[in-house]
Amino acid sequence: MKKRLFSGIQPSGDIHIGNYLGALKNWVAMARQYDSIFCVVDYHAITIPYDTAGFRSRILHTAAMLMAVGLKPEECKIFVQSHVPEHTELCWVLSTVIQMGHLERMIQYKEKSKQHAENINVGLFTYPVLQAADILIYKAEVVPVGEDQIQHIELSREIARKFNTRFGPIFPEPLEKVSAGARIMGLDGQAKMSKSLGNTIALTDTPEIIHQKLKTAVTDVNRKRRSDTGNPDVCNLFTLHKYFSGSETVDEINKECRNAGIGCIDCKTKLAAHMSAELNPIRERYNAIVSHTEDVVGHLESGANQCREMARQTMGEVRSAIGIR
């Protein structure tokens, strides 16, 4: 029997290469090895201000992108969190086994509280408990995530442990699988790639846009003139070369940058070509998929039906364990 895998992604708009390298690419690589479930977490997304008008379409488009990067609805389950109400139901029960003090230590909560100081709602605080419920409702054991989510998975383990100790052994303790490309910097070279900072390359960007964006991207800041030698070790674009270009190109650039044999402009043109080669098929599949959103809706419905069945079963066990049934 395959172990169960669960992961989630927020429907927060254009998915970018940071999401791709930090999570999605890894999901595709792992999906078939496990009994895999992938979820568009719409209830998590409403903990920060958002536009209700485009929300449903962002949810569908996010699901479409999961399929475009290579997750196949026949090989794994893909669904929308709010379609399976047991997630929020279990969240309530789990919120009674974890202490406030524990949630107050969550880095993402502290960061988001700073970013949204005018709206530190209770949902922002209990966000990691809903995340634990997402995982535990399916008794998933493996959770592929980016580096920034490690603390939340540790908390999920703590919640599982606390629940099991008090009510009996129902939940396995889930383990995170962090991908190699877990922390991709934005084109400004300053902060993590993030939609809200506008420093991204989206998976839907055309080769022209990719090249255009790379032209303005920050490289080794100490290399001011073409004749200056550069240092690939501090260049964000060299990091991206490692993910998108073959080892031959990487070796060549590593050498030629250091002796000023290649300039940043040519280096960027090469990167744009390699990146486009990898992203083109994804963009094309995406465009084909979103031209038939009724199919996406159908896949999500069938995913939700299968997940609801499993979630109901776990909730039944939870209800008996806590003594209400």
**From 25, 112, 139, 213, the catalytic residue:** 112
In this complex, which beta carbon is closest to ligand TRP, that of residue 39 or of residue 237?
A: 39
- Using rule CB under 6 A, residue 84 touches ligand TRP: no
Binding residues for ligand TRP restricted to 137-176, rule: CB under 6 A: 143, 145, 149, 152
| In contact, 48 and 112? CB cutoff 8 Å | yes
Q: Does 80 bind ligand TRP (CB under 6 A)?
A: no
- What is the number of alpha carbons within 13 Å of residue 283 lying toward its C-beta? 18
Stretch that binds ligand TRP, among 4-12, 162-170, 216-224, 277-285 (CB under 6 A): 4-12
Work out which of 6, 27, 79, 244 binds ligand TRP, going by CB under 6 A. Answer: 6
Comparison of 182 and 250: residue with beta carbon closer to ligand TRP? 182
Cα(43)–Cα(143) distance, integer angstroms = 19
For 145-180, letters b (16+ CB in 10 Å) and e give bbeebebbbbbbbbbbebbbeebeebbbebebebbe
Q: Based on CB atoms, which residue is closest to ligand TRP, 6 or 286?
A: 6
162, 177, 192, 242: which is the annotated catalytic residue? 192
Binding segment (CB under 6 A) for ligand TRP, from list 128-136, 177-185, 262-270, 300-308: 128-136
- Ramachandran area for residue 13 (φ above 0: left; ψ -120 to 50: alpha; else beta): left
CA distances (Å), origin 196, targets 16, 68, 115, 288: 12, 23, 11, 27
Please identify, among the stretches 129-137, 158-166, 241-249, 279-287, the one whose residues bind ligand TRP according to the rule CB under 6 A.
Answer: 129-137
Is 195 catalytic? The answer is: yes
* Under rule CB under 6 A, residue 44 binds ligand TRP: yes
Tokens of 293: 């959103």
Q: Count the residues of the shown chain that bind ligand TRP, applying the rule CB under 6 A.
A: 13
Residues 47, 62, 131, 200: which binds ligand TRP (CB under 6 A)?
131
Check binding of 38 to ligand TRP (CB under 6 A): no
What's the token pair of residue 89?
A: 């139901």
58 binds ligand TRP (CB under 6 A): no
The single residue listed with the structure tokens 């395959």 is: 2
Residue 127 contacts residue 109 (beta carbons within 8 Å):
yes
Beta-strand (E) ranges in the chain?
A: 4-9, 35-40, 77-80, 142-145, 175-178
Measured between alpha carbons, how far is residue 249 from residues 156, 173, 210 in Å?
41, 42, 19
Among residues 7, 47, 245, 314, the one that binds ligand TRP under rule CB under 6 A: 7
Applying CB under 6 A, among 8, 18, 230, 263 the residue interacting with ligand TRP is 8
CA distance 128 to 269: 41
Which residues would be at the binding site for ligand TRP (CB under 6 A)? Answer: 6-8, 10, 41, 44, 131, 134-135, 143, 145, 149, 152
Residues with catalytic function: 112, 192, 195
